[in-house]
C-alpha cells in the first residue's frame, strides 16, 4: 500500500505499467485518486480529490500549490466535477499543473476518482435517517499494484490450452426451489459445485432457523447418490426478524447468511424489508455473530427508473449502512452496474483508515493510520458479464433473458468484466441460477430469472478466456468466496476441457420443462470430474 505525504514520492515506487490507487493525507482532509501509468521511467502526479470538512479551508494541501484551477469551488451548487461518486464537503479536483508535474520522459496518464462516503452537496440524502452520519467521517480506500495484462497475448496462449484444472468451485447464490423442480435442477449444481448458498425466497419464505433446517433436509434427500454437495442455508430477512433468531441461526451450524430483499424487488420478495431502520437491532446482532448480510441491491420506489434502481440503492441505503455498521460483512448480490463496481472497489480489502486525531502522536501529518479487513464483496452472474439489455429484445422479446436486476447497458457489462477478471478478491461466483417452468416465462406476465446452473462454468470460462485472464478464473470460482465467508477451500479438483458441446434446448421436470441460458448454443468449455484421456 502506498500512503503518500508527498505525491512526488510515487516516481520511485512504481513499475512501467501499473494501476495505482492513491491516498493523500492533508491536514484538513483526505485526497484519493487512481492513476494508470504506461511507458518509460518518468511519472505524472494524478488528479486527486481533496475531501475537506465543513467550514474549514483547504490549506496545507500540497496539490493546491500546483493547481491553476479547481473543478469544485467550495459549496458552488453548479459544480459538475463528479467522477463516479466523488464526495466530500468542499471537494476539489486538483487539475492544471498537478497533472503536468513529471520527471524524466513524458508518459500517458489517465486518472479517475473513487467513492468516499462523506456527505456531498450533490448527493441525495439517505432515505434512512438513522443512517445519516455527521462529519468528520472515515474514508476507506484500496491501494494495489496490478500488472496490466495483455489480453490479446493471453487469449492466443489460451488457444493452445486444451484443459484447465481448478479447485472445485462453489456457487454463492443459488435457487433450487422445491418439489419436482428441486429434484430436476439440483443435480446440475451438485455435479460440479462443492457448496452453494441457497436462497430462501420460497412460498412461504424461509424466515426461521427451524424452517431452514427442514429445507436443508429436503435438499439433502434430493441429491444424487454419492454426492458430496453441501447446501449452505440462509434466512429471509423481514421487518419482524428478531436478534434472537440470528443467535439461533448461528448456533444451528447450517445457516450461513441472512438475505435482504427489499419488499417487491424480485421473485417472492413481497415479505421483504420495507424499512431498513427496523432491522438495525438484527444487523447489529449479525455483526456480533459474524454472519454476512446478502443484499438484493435495488430500491422499489416506483419513481426510480428500473435501470437506475441499483445505483440509487447504493446511494440511499447501502453506502450509509456500511458507514453505520462498518464491521457488518455484506455481499452485494448479482451486481449489474459500474456504480456497484466503484462501490465495491471503494470498500475493498486492504483499505486504510485515515482519521485525524489531534491529541495523539501522529503517524502521518496529524493522522493515525491503520489497516482493517474488507467487509464488502459481490457475487457476479454469467448473464451480467455476457449479456447487455439488447439481449432482451434482439429478434423479438426474449423472456428467457429476463432477470432481476435487469440487464444493463454495454458499458456496465464491460465494467463488471474488467473488475472480475482483474484478480480482485472482492468478487466471486454466484450464478443466481433461477429455474422457472417454460410456461411461466413465456406468458403475459413472465417470471424474472435465468436458469444457468448447467452452463455456468462454461460461460465463466468463456468470459475469462476472452479477457485473457484464464489464470484468474480459479480464484474467482473457487477461492474468493470461501475466503470471504471464512470457510475452508475445497480440496477436490474439476477439469474444464476445450471441447465443444451443445446446450440442450430444455430440461424436464415433474410437470413441465425449463429452458436453460444459451439454450441450443454450442459452448467451448466442458466441465468434467475426469481429466481428458
Given a cut of 50, whether residue 441 has pLDDT beyond it is yes
Given a cut of 90, whether residue 368 has pLDDT beyond it is no
Least Cα distance to 523 among 452, 472, 473 occurs for 452
The whole-number pLDDT of residue 328 equals 97
- Contact partners, residue 246, CB within 8 Å, separation at least 6: 235, 258, 282, 285, 286, 289, 291
The whole-number pLDDT of residue 264 equals 84
The whole-number pLDDT of residue 96 equals 37
Q: pLDDT for 387-406, tens place per residue?
A: 999 999 999 999 999 999 99
DSSP state, residue 65: G
Q: H-helix or E-strand containing 456?
A: helix 456-466
Given a cut of 60, whether residue 428 has pLDDT beyond it is yes
CA 4, 47, 371, 479 torsion-angle sign? negative
Q: Which residues have a catalytic role annotated?
A: 173, 175, 259, 296, 334, 432
Q: H-helix or E-strand containing 198?
A: strand 195-198
pTM of structure: 0.71
Mean pLDDT, rounded, for 225-232: 97
Q: What is the mean pLDDT of the chain?
A: 76
d(CA 149, CA 164): 19
Question: Which is more confident, 131 or 233?
Answer: 233
Mean pLDDT, rounded, for 481-497: 97
Q: Is 159 helix (H, G, I), strand (E, B) or coil?
A: helix
Question: Which is more confident, 46 or 174?
Answer: 174
> The cell 484468474 sits on which residue?
472
Least Cα distance to 188 among 234, 232, 233, 229 occurs for 229
What does the block give as the cell for 477?
470460482
Question: Which is more confident, 137 or 267?
Answer: 267
Mean pLDDT, rounded, for 245-257: 98
Lowest mean pLDDT among 149-153, 247-251, 322-326, 443-447: 149-153
Given a cut of 90, whether residue 358 has pLDDT beyond it is no
Find the helix packing angle between 410-420 and 338-346, rounded to 10°.
Answer: 30
Lowest mean pLDDT among 120-124, 216-220, 406-410, 417-421: 120-124
Given a cut of 70, whether residue 103 has pLDDT beyond it is no
d(CA 436, CA 204): 17
- Give the DSSP letter string of 20-44: EEEEEEETTEEEEEEEEEESSS-EE
- Give the distance, in angstroms, between the CA of residue 502 and the centroid of all CA atoms in the same chain: 31
Confidence band of 160 (pLDDT split at 50, 70, 90):
low
Confidence band of 315 (pLDDT split at 50, 70, 90):
very high
The whole-number pLDDT of residue 282 equals 98
Cis peptide before 19 (omega within 30 of 0): no
Please report the domains of the chain, with CATH numbers, ordered by start residue.
162-351+367-528 (3.20.20.140)
The whole-number pLDDT of residue 269 equals 80
The whole-number pLDDT of residue 530 equals 86
The whole-number pLDDT of residue 426 equals 96
> The cell 436462497 sits on which residue?
199
Mean pLDDT, rounded, for 73-100: 37
Confidence band of 159 (pLDDT split at 50, 70, 90):
low
Amino acid at each position: 500500500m502506498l500512503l503518500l505525504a508527498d505525491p512526488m514520492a510515487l516516481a520511485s515506487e512504481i513499475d512501467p505499467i501499473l494501476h495505482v490507487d492513491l491516498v493523500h493525507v492533508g491536514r484538513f482532509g483526505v485526497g484519493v485518486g487512481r492513476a494508470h501509468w504506461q511507458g518509460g521511467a518518468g511519472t505524472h502526479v494524478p488528479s486527486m480529490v481533496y475531501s475537506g470538512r465543513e467550514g474549514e479551508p483547504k490549506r496545507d494541501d500540497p496539490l493546491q500549490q500546483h493547481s491553476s484551477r479547481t473543478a469544485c469551488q467550495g459549496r458552488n451548487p453548479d459544480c459538475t466535477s463528479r467522477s463516479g461518486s466523488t464526495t466530500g464537503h468542499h471537494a476539489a479536483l486538483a487539475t492544471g499543473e498537478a497533472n503536468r508535474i513529471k520527471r524524466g520522459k513524458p508518459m500517458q496518464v489517465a486518472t479517475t476518482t473513487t467513492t468516499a462516503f462523506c456527505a456531498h452537496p450533490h448527493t441525495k440524502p439517505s432515505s434512512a435517517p438513522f443512517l445519516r452520519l455527521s462529519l468528520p467521517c472515515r474514508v476507506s480506500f484500496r491501494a494495489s499494484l496490478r500488472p496490466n495484462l495483455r489480453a490479446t497475448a493471453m487469449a492466443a496462449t489460451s488457444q493452445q490450452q486444451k484443459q484447465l484444472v481448478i479447485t472445485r468451485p462453489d456457487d454463492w447464490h443459488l435457487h433450487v426451489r422445491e418439489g419436482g423442480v428441486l429434484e430436476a435442477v439440483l443435480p446440475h449444481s451438485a455435479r460440479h459445485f462443492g457448496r452453494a448458498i441457497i436462497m430462501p425466497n420460497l412460498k412461504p419464505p424461509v424466515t426461521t432457523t427451524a424452517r431452514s433446517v427442514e429445507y436443508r433436509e429436503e435438499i439433502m434427500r434430493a441429491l444424487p447418490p454419492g454426492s458430496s454437495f453441501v447446501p449452505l442455508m440462509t434466512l429471509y430477512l423481514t421487518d419482524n426478524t428478531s436478534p434472537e433468531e440470528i443467535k439461533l441461526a448461528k448456533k444451528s451450524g447450517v445457516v450461513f447468511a441472512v438475505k435482504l430483499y427489499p419488499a417487491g424487488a424480485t421473485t417472492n420478495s413481497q415479505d421483504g424489508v420495507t424499512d431498513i431502520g427496523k432491522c438495525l437491532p438484527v444487523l447489529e446482532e449479525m455483526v456480533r455473530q459474524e454472519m454476512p448480510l446478502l443484499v438484493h441491491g435495488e430500491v422499489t420506489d416506483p419513481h426510480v427508473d428500473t435501470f437506475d434502481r441499483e445505483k440509487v440503492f447504493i446511494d440511499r441505503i447501502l453506502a450509509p449502512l456500511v458507514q453505520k455498521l462498518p464491521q457488518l460483512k455484506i455481499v452485494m448480490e448479482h451486481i449489474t452496474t459500474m456504480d456497484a463496481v466503484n462501490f465495491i472497489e471503494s470498500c475493498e480489502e486492504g483499505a486504510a483508515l485515515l482519521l485525524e486525531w489531534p491529541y495523539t502522536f501522529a503517524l502521518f501529518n496529524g493522522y493515525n493510520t491503520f489497516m482493517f479487513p474488507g467487509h464488502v464483496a459481490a457475487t457476479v452472474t454469467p448473464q451480467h458479464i455476457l449479456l447487455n439489455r439488447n439481449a432482451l429484445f434482439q429478434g423479438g422479446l426474449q423472456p428467457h433473458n429476463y432477470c432481476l436486476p435487469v440487464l444493463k447497458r454495454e458499458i456496465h457489462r464491460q465494467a463488471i468484466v474488467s473488475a472480475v477478471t482483474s484478480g480482485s478478491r472482492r468478487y466471486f461466483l454466484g450464478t443466481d441460477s433461477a429455474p422457472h417452468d417454460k410456461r411461466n416465462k413465456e406468458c403475459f406476465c413472465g417470471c424474472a430469472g435465468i436458469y444457468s446452473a448447467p452452463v455456468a462454468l462454461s460461460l465463466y470460462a468463456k468470459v475469462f478466456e476472452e479477457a485473457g485472464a484464464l489464470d484468474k478464473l480459479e480464484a474467482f470460482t473457487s477461492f474468493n468466496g470461501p475466503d470471504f465467508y471464512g470457510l475452508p477451500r475445497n480440496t477436490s479438483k474439476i477439469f474444464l476441457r476445450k471441447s465443444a458441446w451443445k446446450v440442450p434446448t430444455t430440461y424436464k421436470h415433474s410437470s413441465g420443462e425449463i429452458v436453460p441460458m444459451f439454450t441450443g448454443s454450442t459452448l467451448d468449455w466442458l466441465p468434467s470430474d475426469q481429466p481428458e484421456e
